[in-house]
Amino acid sequence: DVKVTQSSRYLVKRTGEKVFLECVQDMDHENMFWYRQDPGLGLRLIYFSYDVKMKEKGDIPEGYSVSREKKERFSLILESASTNQTSMYLCASNSPRTGYTDTQYFGPGTRLTVL
Amino acid sequence: KQEVTQIPAALSVPEGENLVLNCSFTDSAIYNLQWFRQDPGKGLTSLLLIQSSQREQTSGRLNASLDKSSGRSTLYIAASQPGDSATYLCAVINNDYKLSFGAGTTVTVRA
């Protein structure tokens, strides 16, 4: 089975802190994605990556950056956390080898609270 | 920009009743449409994926239909059970290969 893991289930940080959210997948997938999920808004794409060291902005990249140094790991970075970044963050992966029409596999999510 | 809408936002039914969840999208140029299930505080689990050339997909008690030209999909869950209580999310893959999600329908099945 595909497994996508995220480093923390719950995280509490203070305004202005630098925050790292880590995501690891074990299926050798090329594509990895970061979303945030807020009530009434659904999932919104923050950043995605098609390969190591490659990244592209999603719909809401402001205030975030990403890093993909290894194929299996995709990190989301909040350079200076703000209260409006309190949210559920979900990581996903899939492979273009099965076509872009294949489903994305999701991690369990990290609920981040910024005080 | 693709917009995906799910109606209703919440649904409560007695056990045994059939569930009907609706999804609509504004741009019909999609590659596929997927239905996901999300349990409270958890990630998403894929339920059904319908390719743009298909009209429906079935898995056990679940059946999803797709009318691409009118921008609609419906998820039917037959003979609902308390274990079906969850949030159901509809998502489409657009021409740019990105997923666009609806806000979800939260289902409660009463025993």
Q: What is the pLDDT of residues B6-20, one digit of tens each?
A: 999 999 999 999 999
B43: confidence class by pLDDT, cuts 50, 70, 90? confident
In angstroms, the separation between the Cα of residue A51 and the nearest Cα of chain B is 15
pLDDT tens readout for residues A26-81: 988 888 999 999 988 889 999 999 889 899 999 999 999 999 999 999 999 999 99
Q: Do B43 and A45 touch (CB under 8 A)?
A: no
pLDDT tens readout for residues B28-39: 988 889 999 999
- CB within 8 Å of chain A, chain B residues 6-35: 9, 31-32, 34
Tokens of A63: 């205030």
Q: Do A100 and B44 touch (CB under 8 A)?
A: no
What pLDDT score does B65 carry? 97
List of chain B residues whose C-beta atoms are within 8 Å of the C-beta of residue A32: none
* A70 alpha-carbon distance from chain centroid: 15
Position A108, amino acid: P
B21: confidence class by pLDDT, cuts 50, 70, 90? very high
pLDDT tens readout for residues B59-76: 999 999 999 999 999 999
- Please report, rounded to a whole number, the percentage of residues in chain A having pLDDT higher than 90: 74
- Mean pLDDT, to the nearest integer, of A88-109? 80
Q: Do B97 and A43 touch (CB under 8 A)?
A: no
List of chain B residues whose C-beta atoms are within 8 Å of the C-beta of residue A93: none
Place of tokens 């940080």: A13
In angstroms, the separation between the Cα of residue B32 and the nearest Cα of chain A is 6
What pLDDT score does A18 carry? 97
Sequence-ordered list of residues with C-beta below 8 angstroms from that of A27, at least 6 positions apart, any chain: A2, A3, A93, A95, A105
List of chain A residues whose C-beta atoms are within 8 Å of the C-beta of residue B41: 9, 109, 111
List of chain A residues whose C-beta atoms are within 8 Å of the C-beta of residue B93: 100-101
What pLDDT score does A104 carry? 83
Position A89, amino acid: Y
Q: Do B42 and A109 touch (CB under 8 A)?
A: yes
Q: Are A24 and A67 in contact (CB under 8 A)?
A: no
Does A43 contact B at CB distance below 8 Å?
Answer: yes
Residue B60 to residues A79, B47, B55, B77, Cα–Cα distance (Å): 46, 10, 17, 9
More confidently predicted of B77 and A104: B77
